[in-house]
Amino acid sequence: MTAVTGSQLVGDPVDRVDGPLKVRGAAPYPSDVRYPGMAYAALVQSTIAAGTISSIDTAEAEAAPGVLAVLTHENIPDLAEAPLTALGSPPRFPLQDDRIVHHGQHVALVVAGTSGQAAAAARLVRIGYQETPAILDIADPDAPVVTNPWGLESERGDVAAGLASADLVCDETFTIAAETNNPLGLFATVARWDGDRLVVHDSTQWPMMERRTLADVFGVPEDDVRVLVPYLGGAFGAGLRTWPHTILTALAARIVNRPVKLVLTRPQMFTSVGHRPETVQRVRLGATREGRLVALDHEGTSTIGTEEANLEPITMGTPSLYACPNVATHDRQVRLNIPNPGPMRAPGTAQGNFAIESALDELSYAVGVDPIELRLRNHAEVQPGSGLPWSSNALRECYLVGADRFGWAERSAEPRSMRDGTELVGYGMAGAAYHWYQTPCRVRISIGRDGTAHVRSAATDLGTGTYTVTTQLAAELLGLDVGRVRVEIGDSDLPPAPQSGGSGLMISLGNAVHDAAATMLQAFLDAVAGDEASPLRGRRPNEVAVHEGRIHLVADPSAGETYAEILARHGLDEITVDGEVQPQPPAGMAPAGAFAAHFVEVRVDEDLGLLRIARVVSAVDGGRILNEKTARSQITGATVMGIGMAMLEETVFDPSGRIANATFGDYLIPVNADVPTLDAVFVGEPDKSTPIGIKGLGEVGIVGVPAAIANAVHHATGRRIRSLPITMDRLL
């Protein structure tokens, strides 16, 4: 079994295997965890954005009913620094000193017998501040600037010469407001200590990282920390760091010697678990009169906390997007007194794509070429820079299939030329790409005498379908019905797995399952290697196949036996094997991530400036599709987030540094009335970089959607909007 071929289950739109548990309300989320004698914690947050704490009076809070402890920087023990992760430096831990660096910073934690008692006592903590002027504006000349923060700036060819020689140059600036991750499930942490062993239930996308972080901070071996998250109520990147409230909860549990639960409030979600940073981008495109790119210069500026780090390169994907001989990219970060940004679906790439694909649309009008044709003329047939062939690339097919499905041919090229009654009608499109990503991963599979398989790994399922597609893949490779495969994930005591983020988990996990399944087959063949009673005696893997829990000869399907028969005859309760993947770029080719083309129809009421999305069609090259239903859900869910980014979402900081709209009553997110018919179609072939041929789908569904909407707005109104969100006032 070197590849998945002739699949019967892989690709089928199987219903989510965890669906029944969820609809019964029986799926255990972190906020559902209960322990006998559990205490509850509530945060106290700063009311200034910059300065120091001059005084703390906790006496009234400590005397309040049920209060067990009030933790501040004045009484907590010293903790070790959290380690670096693959995403960079850990968040700043606020209770180590008296400094305030943003509004809403945690300044105290109250622990009490009930959640109500903790919340009431938290309001009794009196804090005095010595306030200093805060820096809150990305354009503030006093704001510290970090240039090339990740060492990822690049240059190919001679951009200055290319721009000088171009027949046409587009030079524009694009801005995007800060957005906040707003998963349905409030982030929660439950921590308990059993001697020196720490067990934490947490809203994390990366149990292994959190285990290491907590072990380092509290000075215990990693094996003495267990992180559990079998189910997570969404995250969109917010769960990729170990945030201070998690460490505080574990510390509180140690101090009061009881399990402690902390559930963030919705306003606290805005200040505690990151957000998509505000960005300003300058794009300079140089092209011939035929629209062929000769130069591309892309500058990206994003916001960051005053003493924090956030890996979010805006321009990283730009050099590989199009066949342009002269390309330069520049990234910088501006330090502000704001809660630290963090990953939010397609971090960096979603913003960078908006600027590039909007600029390309402008160029298409300048040269009088259809936007699709312009992209086809500049399509990267091989990876720019290296010249290597792609491991797969069906972006051309995405353009053509998507255009046909959308009815792009019906578009009138002239802006403001399409109308339906009082509404202006616009068609817009954008291309999209998201990078290839794979990390080491391990899986353990057991098959028992009952003929069922148990698959275990420390991966997580954010609700994207990891349980389901892992079940399908294991069932296919082991020759079992999906009902005879049980997947266990979300536990750091299981074999190590990477984060669920970056569109890379299923590539890593799936290929580890593939490796384990091949090892399992060999283990059963080894078990019968000297068994004269077995028709499989002495056979090699390429001579057998698996079907319905039975290993049989390829040449004679009637000759074989079941897993259960082999185990029983040899007195074995089960056979357990491990599988792993150590990512290696494919030889002689450039590993390709997912590609897509998004097509949008908008309606704009000319008198009211009211923008409405009428329909969206997304054509996606996702390699081999393991489950069409969950894959389509990934794309359509991300598209909804793209609609929010384009039209609605904006995290507003008032002059004091307070987030002014930190509730669902004030922060606008798409609801059913904002979401039209969403259509997703998959094109392309299995990717050649891995045995199972899949690509990540978590992020390519949002990349390109905001640009396609903005481009459609221009086609409808003749007005070029270069700033998101596109609100009514910008269309009046």
pLDDT digits (tens, 9 = 90+) for 540-549: 999 999 999 9
- H helix runs in 144-290, sequence order: 159-165, 207-218, 244-256, 266-272
Region 136-142: mean pLDDT is 98
Region 227-234: mean pLDDT is 96
Given this model, what pLDDT does residue 421 score?
93
Q: Return the bridge partners of 441, or none.
A: 581
The CA distance from 47 to 108, in Å, is: 12
> What percentage of the chain carries pLDDT values higher than 90?
96
Cα angle: 59, vertex 62, 65; to 5 degrees: 130
Res 6 pLDDT > 50: no
For 51, left (φ over 0), alpha (ψ -120 to 50), or beta?
A: left
For 694, left (φ over 0), alpha (ψ -120 to 50), or beta?
A: beta
Active-site residue list: 699
**Do residues 505 and 440 lie in contact, with contact meaning Cβ atoms separated by under 8 Å?**
no
pLDDT in tens, 655-669: 999 999 999 999 999
Res 538 pLDDT > 50: yes
Which residues does 63 contact at the CB level (< 8 Å), separation at least 6?
Answer: none
Most distant CA pair in the chain, distance: 85
Q: Is the dihedral of CA 499, 500, 506, 510 positive or negative?
A: positive
Given this model, what pLDDT does residue 437 score?
87
The CA distance from 189 to 204, in Å, is: 9
Given this model, what pLDDT does residue 8 score?
54
The CA distance from 106 to 115, in Å, is: 18
Res 432 pLDDT > 60: yes
Region 687-714: mean pLDDT is 96
Given this model, what pLDDT does residue 9 score?
61
Which band of pLDDT confidence, cut at 50, 70 and 90, is reported for residue 3? very low
Q: At what angle do helices 705-717 and 349-367 cross, to 10 degrees?
A: 30
* pTM score over 0.75: yes
Residue with tokens 């590039």: 356
Res 124 pLDDT > 60: yes
Picking from 418, 428, 280, the residue whose alpha carbon sits closest to that of residue 365 is: 428
Which band of pLDDT confidence, cut at 50, 70 and 90, is reported for residue 87? confident
CA distances (Å), origin 195, targets 9, 190, 192, 480: 46, 16, 9, 42
CA dihedral 670, 671, 675, 679 (to 10 degrees): 90
Res 528 pLDDT > 90: yes
Exposed, middle or buried, 579 (CB in 10 Å: 0-12/13-18/19+)?
buried
CA distances (Å), origin 320, targets 67, 87, 370, 397, 457: 57, 22, 22, 18, 33
How many CB atoms are closer than 10 A to CB 233? Answer: 18
Picking from 534, 561, 530, the residue whose alpha carbon sits closest to that of residue 546 is: 561
pLDDT in tens, 382-410: 999 899 999 999 999 999 999 999 999 99
Res 594 pLDDT > 50: yes
φ, ψ of residue 122 to 5 degrees: the values are -60, -30
Which band of pLDDT confidence, cut at 50, 70 and 90, is reported for residue 583? confident
Region 414-440: mean pLDDT is 96
Residue with tokens 């500026």: 301
**Do residues 364 and 292 lie in contact, with contact meaning Cβ atoms separated by under 8 Å?**
no
Which range is least confidently modeled, 92-96, 316-320, 345-349?
A: 92-96
Res 299 pLDDT > 60: yes
Given this model, what pLDDT does residue 475 score?
97
What is the average pLDDT score of the chain? 96
Which residues does 660 contact at the CB level (< 8 Å), separation at least 6?
Answer: 652, 653, 654, 666
Which band of pLDDT confidence, cut at 50, 70 and 90, is reported for residue 5? very low
Region 509-518: mean pLDDT is 97
Which residues does 319 contact at the CB level (< 8 Å), separation at least 6?
Answer: 154, 156, 327, 329, 384, 385
Go through the chain and tell me how many residues it has.
Answer: 732
Region 614-626: mean pLDDT is 97
Res 688 pLDDT > 60: yes
**Do residues 189 and 247 lie in contact, with contact meaning Cβ atoms separated by under 8 Å?**
no
φ, ψ of residue 465 to 5 degrees: the values are 110, 20
